[in-house]
Structure 1
Amino acid sequence: MGVLVIAVVLPMAAPLAIADPPSTVDLPKANPRTGLPEGWNPGPERYGVGEQKNVELPMADGVVLRADVRYPTDAVGAPAAGPFPIVLTQTSYGKDSAGLMRLLSYEGLGPLLQNALPSVIDVAKQVSDAAGYGDYFVKRGYISVIVDIRGTGSSGGQWSILQPQEREDSKRVIHWAAELPNSTGEIGLWGLSYLGMSELFTAGVLEPDSPVKALFPLMPGNHAFQDLLGHDGFYNIAFLASMLQFPITLLPQLAPILGLYREPDKLTSVFVDHLISHFRPDGTWPSVFNALLDGDKAYNSPYWESRAIDNVVEQIAANDIPTYLVGGQYDLLQDGTPRTFAGLQNAYAGRSRHGPMPATAPSSGRFQMLVGPWFHVQPGVQRNTDIDMHAIQLAWFDRWLKDDRNGIDETKTPLHAIDLNGNVIESATYPLRETPTQHLYLESDGRLTPDRPAAQTGSDRVTFSPVNGGTICNSSFSRNFSGVYELLATMAGVDDPCGQFPAHPDIPGLLDNPQYTTAPFTEPTVLGGPIGATLFAVSNTPASAFSVTVQDIAPDGTATALTDGQLAGNFRALDEERTWRAEDGSVLGAFHPGTRESLLPVVPGQVTEYNVKVRPAFHVFQPGHRLQVTIGSGDAPTHILNPKDYPALLGGVYDIQRTEGAASFLTVPLAGVSQTRR
């Protein structure tokens, strides 16, 4: 695979003004082999598939978890001669839901409808894979285990989000799986979203030299509260809307019926257990109402810190468990997964897990990340960047579970990024050492320039509005709605048409959302990593709110949404240990504590500094294109602010300063392609 590699730190980024003829330098393009080792192929299916259903695993407190074990068989259907390593998934969505999707995609109706409804069947396969279906690996010599975690699927007990009890259960699950007949006793963990989070937490509580030898978490994030629920004072209503009704409320009651309908006594017991989950104090619905009423769940706390992946990465690195992360440019966890990658690399090298990787740092191929323009439930799927995620995963597990030295870990650039147009960007570090940071200052007449303002006065006005453009067809909603739009669009053979629409247009007379734009780029220019927006603003109310979006503006004026970030003014305090700063001290990746105790009042009439965390972007601007930033306030219906704060927010007017003494700016990782190759 072609790569973009640089061995030294660059002193400066690309110029923004047109001065030279456009460059003809191009980046490599993604193709079906992107991410695979040179010369390696997944090989053919060699085995059939046998299954043991609902194997019971008693936990220490008597709660029974249930697992399905699928194993390789020979030509006559008998267990094949082994032993075989194990790939294991712990799911919160019901192993039998995955089984149903399997019957509707890979088996049953799937083959019959493949020619008539190819896109629909492909989506059914993607959902089946996301839910933990692992026959791809079984047919190539693995035992596949999928376990319903406590309080979900066919397992007993009560569930609450990422509860620490799950980790105690996982220790027993791992010990049991390692002793399965005909297995090598070596285990690889894998899963998407909650399943990926679960595997990281499992690895984070295991002893050294445990049976777990490799991880492959897809879209796992880093901090559940910061990534999913509380975007620096904004509640992520779109995410909750995508999850509350079916996956969290209805599915736990339907899944036992799918798995235990032949055993009515067990079905009844599990059904009641799951029903009780909804009414526990830490159950989902009570927690939502608690947050909306300004209860403790609305703020970061020991409760949420105990559910933060950030707090287990040091143990994973100490246990030396090779980990291949997959993230998405349009994933609602787009900030957290790269932070986990940097944390693992830092911890493995003996540095603090909290900071960015130093630009001069070496990196290890034992910890890698692949990120592309993918939504939450469909990693690897997009018109320009369809890749073979199964094959990459197989290569990873073959390397660490079968000792196949296929070269997947032999890389000096363990970060692999693919942009919306299929351009491949690789680096040894995150943030990318190839794209050093620069400042782009807000200037008069909507300009965004590298030059600090010299004016003594000057500002632009934002008037608070609880909504964005008043639509649910925009990139912010598409991403935070868990990628459901993309899932539906893929059935029609297209990409989500809303995914590229900016969420905060400037609509004169309706929405005062000032926009600032660079001069056109003179060569292909890489934007790679987190973005900091440092705003100096004066509010006329004792509360404020900011939503910052970044777009690519084509020569014909077409705007393509790249990323965004939100900040409620009273959440502006910084957690200095977790905040990422550029070499000059400016904030590149803000981390706001989000605790009730850290809230700061907004003083009307006073110039106040706000550091907005703009989620990372991997993108290549083509010659003639421009970078634009838009500053808005509310972001409903994607996000809402704390209901108790709206009386103080309504009527708010914020003057964004752009003066010599209070210069608002972006801290942006940006460099021309020609410079990255020096």
Structure 2
Amino acid sequence: MKTIARTLMLSALLAAGLAACSGSDVPSSGSNVSGDRPAQSTARWQSYARAADYPGTAAEDAFIAMRDGVRIAARVVRPSDAEGRVVDAPLPVILTINGYNSRLIGDVLPSTGYFVQRGYVHVFVDERGTGSSGGKWESFGEVSHEDFLEVLEWIDDQPWSAGRVGTWGPSYMGITQFFAAKHQHPSLKAMFPIVPMGDAYRDIVFTGGQINAGFIPLWVGLVNGLGALPLAALQENPLGGVDVLLDHVTQSLLSFSVGTVGEALLGTDKVYDGPFWRARSPLEVADRVQVPTFLVGGLNDLFQRGTPLLYEALKGHTEAKLLIGPWTHLEGSFGGGLPADGVPSLDAIALQWFDRYLKGMANGAERQPDVTQYLYGEERYVVEADWPHPEARALRLHLRGDGSLSEEAALPGEASNRVLQQPVNGLCSMSASQWTAGIIGLLPLPCATDNRITELLERTYTTPPLERDLYVNGPIQANVWVSTTALEAGVVVRITDVSPDGRSQEITNGILTASMRAVDASRARMLDGQSIQPWHLFTEEARQRLSPGEIVPLNVEVFPSSFVIKEGHALRVSVGASDLPHGLPPLPDLIRGVVGLLTVYSEADYPSHVVLPVVETVPAP
């Protein structure tokens, strides 16, 4: 498209001209505010490897008494010599706090042996109410936060600890790192969270105000399945272990898990953002994290939104780095496909990080690139100076009545389009794989790479084939004007890459319940005077109920991505009414909007459009 090409060129010239006039970098939304970190757009990855110091490992169980008498279980893995003798010397410690089962997790993760054989003690801890730990599980609740501080103090007192601790682990084990770090314990020196969540409500549990029906039941089942078996407690004391098992079933499973999920489905106060979800959100404590932190995220991860926000929250006050790969949650947990394009394996990156900050080795870890992202379309990793991209400029594309997508605004009286409201579309899409943590993606389904089946029940808006590459990097906002014949509606917006043969590859998406549309403008992310990432309130007080036929604007948050629509391909925006299993409305909302007709408007008075953060130049290989 010539107009898109002109916009990109003018944006680049404008940025260059302003920089030349000021004699310094131009501040932009999301730019580094610390003032003391050099731009690293020219940094390149350096490989890192170190031979093992010890040939073996040895594991033992331990129990840590908490302030209230509850015992927290730990699995301590230490290096051993060729004869199997445990190395009796103080060493730096890697701490992993999980909610599954340290007896299972600690003994099967290949990274455990990799770190331990290179001179670390690896301590795996069962969060309260899981594995062999006593007490009640409350999913990252504040009682557990205090436990994490006591665990750090216990590690400090052990003869095998050198008093320097780093935290490591994916998913659950990445989230707990922030709640341990918030205490600023002097022995905690570094973090390596892999695919962690940032905002419990918006990232995962109630995306857009709808229950994540794909991952949350799966995850709760996993915690209560694996975490219910107190293997270490049973071995230590069979009768005591049975008591722990019964507590897990009655307190953690029946009381907390079933109760919380049931309340959400029935539409109680758990469907709204508030203290319960804030206490479980790492973003709420990121300002208290003071240690060097290396973050790993995925473009199709469950926490696609939250991980880069955590990087942004940290980078102004501590050393922080961000690596985003082409991963679902399962793939991202292990850094699937690495090493690639000069980027080392996750274990090699983590080893260099811990060697630098726990062992004090001058190995250049701090000089590795600050931000590394995979680019869909280019199908490779690139190094960028920062996130959000400091050179991004806003490009507005309008949803036209004829199904086109263009920079030209809609005309008065332009046609609108209708979508059938139903709760089950999306089951055959890339989104279904993403929001089941990658499990559905393991099946050889053609709809995982082609959204045309899903689009049969949606309305699509497509550019002509592009005349030059279009590089998009960052959050995306869709502003869609709609009405419904029902009392409620959900709106799903997908961004796809349409290849010359017609295949529509979904890149990212967003979802929003219409009555939850209220935003806090003061917390929205702006770019060139336009909002590209809304902040929805998701409170009961802010809820705005619909009347049939009422035309309302919905600011749909489409999760951030990095991609290039290649010359000859087209960019598509698809608008639908559901995205199962990503989103399922709570029962009261489902009843109000289960069937109806959703109208998407495209005219001068109701100008539906998307705002994209575009960058002029794709980094060279």
Question: Normalised by the shorter chain, which TM-score bucket?
Answer: 0.7 to 0.9
1:255-297 deviation digits (Å, cap 9, x = unpaired): 313663353123112112212224665x011111111111121
- Within 5 A, what are the aligned runs for 1:387-398? 388-398=345-355
Write the distance in 1 (CA, Å) between the matches of 2:471 and 2:171.
28
Aligned position for 1:377: 330
Give the one of 219, 236, 239 matched to 2:212.
236
Which deviates more from structure 2 when the two are superposed, residues 372-381 or residues 213-222? 372-381
Write the distance in 2 (CA, Å) between the matches of 1:662 and 1:53.
65
1:203-256 deviation digits (Å, cap 9, x = unpaired): 11335xx111100001111111221210122111011232233x1332232x31
Structure 1 residues 331, 663: closer, same or farther in 2, change over 3 A?
A: same
Aligned partner letter, 1:437: A
Aligned position for 1:611: 555
Structure 1 residues 403, 496: closer, same or farther in 2, change over 3 A?
A: farther
1:499 Cα shift?
Answer: 3.8
Aligned position for 1:476: 431
Pair 1:187 & 2:165 matched: yes
Aligned partner letter, 1:649: G
Write the distance in 2 (CA, Å) between the matches of 1:504 and 1:639.
18
Write the distance in 2 (CA, Å) between the matches of 1:279 and 1:395.
39
Aligned partner letter, 1:235: I
Aligned partner letter, 1:93: Y
Check the 8 A contact 1:504/1:631 in 2, yes or no: no
Aligned partner letter, 2:507: L
SS of 2:353's equivalent in the other structure is helix
Aligned position for 1:177: 155
Pair 1:450 & 2:450 matched: no
Aligned position for 1:222: 198
Aligned position for 2:586: 642
Give RMSD over aligned pairs. Answer: 2.6
Pair 1:485 & 2:440 matched: yes
1:77 Cα shift?
Answer: 3.3
Check the 8 A contact 2:335/2:345 in 1, yes or no: no
Structure 1 residues 460, 11: closer, same or farther in 2, change over 3 A?
A: farther
Check the 8 A contact 1:506/1:515 in 2, yes or no: yes
Check the 8 A contact 2:323/2:373 in 1, yes or no: yes
Aligned partner letter, 1:148: D
1:299 Cα shift?
Answer: 1.6
SS of 2:323's equivalent in the other structure is strand
Which deviates more from structure 2 when the two are superposed, residues 42-51 or residues 593-602? 42-51
Structure 1 residues 498, 457: closer, same or farther in 2, change over 3 A?
A: closer
Write the distance in 1 (CA, Å) between the matches of 2:233 and 2:522.
46
Write the distance in 1 (CA, Å) between the matches of 2:559 and 2:339.
21
SS of 2:277's equivalent in the other structure is helix
Check the 8 A contact 1:328/1:372 in 2, yes or no: yes
Give the one of 261, 281, 295 matched to 1:325.
295
Give the one of 632, 638, 644 matched to 2:576.
632
Aligned position for 1:550: 495
SS of 2:230's equivalent in the other structure is helix
Matched residue pairs, number?
580
1:518 Cα shift?
Answer: 1.6
Write the distance in 2 (CA, Å) between the matches of 1:503 and 1:613.
22
Aligned partner letter, 1:517: T
SS of 2:227's equivalent in the other structure is helix
SS of 1:307's equivalent in the other structure is coil
Structure 1 residues 313, 618: closer, same or farther in 2, change over 3 A?
A: same
Write the distance in 1 (CA, Å) between the matches of 2:207 and 2:45.
40
Aligned partner letter, 2:579: D
Q: Aligned residues: percent identity?
A: 30
Aligned position for 2:286: 313
Give the one of 602, 612, 617 matched to 2:546.
602
Pair 1:141 & 2:94 matched: no
1:640 Cα shift?
Answer: 1.3
Write the distance in 2 (CA, Å) between the matches of 1:646 and 1:77.
60
Aligned partner letter, 1:425: V
Check the 8 A contact 1:468/1:504 in 2, yes or no: no
Pair 1:578 & 2:533 matched: no
Aligned position for 1:167: 145
Structure 1 residues 57, 393: closer, same or farther in 2, change over 3 A?
A: same
Aligned position for 1:109: none
Check the 8 A contact 1:427/1:433 in 2, yes or no: no
Check the 8 A contact 2:401/2:603 in 1, yes or no: no
Aligned partner letter, 1:449: S
Aligned position for 1:90: 97
Structure 1 residues 609, 39: closer, same or farther in 2, change over 3 A?
A: closer
Aligned position for 1:5: none
1:636 Cα shift?
Answer: 2.8
Check the 8 A contact 2:472/2:564 in 1, yes or no: yes
Aligned position for 2:243: 269
SS of 2:409's equivalent in the other structure is coil
Give unmatched runs, 5+ long, in structure 1: 1-7, 14-34, 103-127, 349-363, 490-494
Structure 1 residues 602, 168: closer, same or farther in 2, change over 3 A?
A: same
1:629-671 deviation digits (Å, cap 9, x = unpaired): 1000022344211211234324432322222232111111123
Aligned position for 1:200: 178
- Within 5 A, what are the aligned runs for 1:519-538? 519-538=464-483
Write the distance in 2 (CA, Å) between the matches of 1:227 and 1:414.
23
Structure 1 residues 260, 499: closer, same or farther in 2, change over 3 A?
A: farther
Give unmatched runs, 5+ long, in structure 2: 1-9, 16-41
Check the 8 A contact 1:551/1:627 in 2, yes or no: yes
1:425 Cα shift?
Answer: 2.7
- Within 5 A, what are the aligned runs for 1:274-353? 274-278=248-252, 281=255, 283-316=256-289, 320-346=290-316, 348=317
Write the distance in 2 (CA, Å) between the matches of 1:43 and 1:375.
29
Aligned position for 1:407: 364
Structure 1 residues 611, 11: closer, same or farther in 2, change over 3 A?
A: farther
TM-score where L is the length of structure 1: 0.80
Pair 1:656 & 2:600 matched: yes
Aligned partner letter, 2:227: P
1:81 Cα shift?
Answer: 6.7
Aligned position for 2:383: 426
1:443 Cα shift?
Answer: 1.5
Write the distance in 2 (CA, Å) between the matches of 1:393 and 1:36.
18
Aligned partner letter, 2:97: Q
Aligned partner letter, 1:250: G
Give the one of 648, 663, 666 matched to 2:610.
666
Check the 8 A contact 2:401/2:414 in 1, yes or no: no
1:587 Cα shift?
Answer: 2.3
Pair 1:467 & 2:424 matched: yes
1:157-202 deviation digits (Å, cap 9, x = unpaired): 1101111111100111001112322432110001111111101111
Structure 1 residues 96, 294: closer, same or farther in 2, change over 3 A?
A: same
Aligned partner letter, 2:78: Y
Check the 8 A contact 1:188/1:215 in 2, yes or no: yes
Aligned partner letter, 1:369: L
1:292-334 deviation digits (Å, cap 9, x = unpaired): 1111212212111111111101111xxx311111111111111
Check the 8 A contact 1:524/1:673 in 2, yes or no: no
Aligned partner letter, 1:290: E
Which deviates more from structure 2 when the two are superposed, residues 188-197 or residues 51-60? 51-60
Check the 8 A contact 1:476/1:503 in 2, yes or no: no
Structure 1 residues 325, 384: closer, same or farther in 2, change over 3 A?
A: closer
1:71 Cα shift?
Answer: 1.6
Structure 1 residues 367, 545: closer, same or farther in 2, change over 3 A?
A: same
Pair 1:66 & 2:19 matched: no
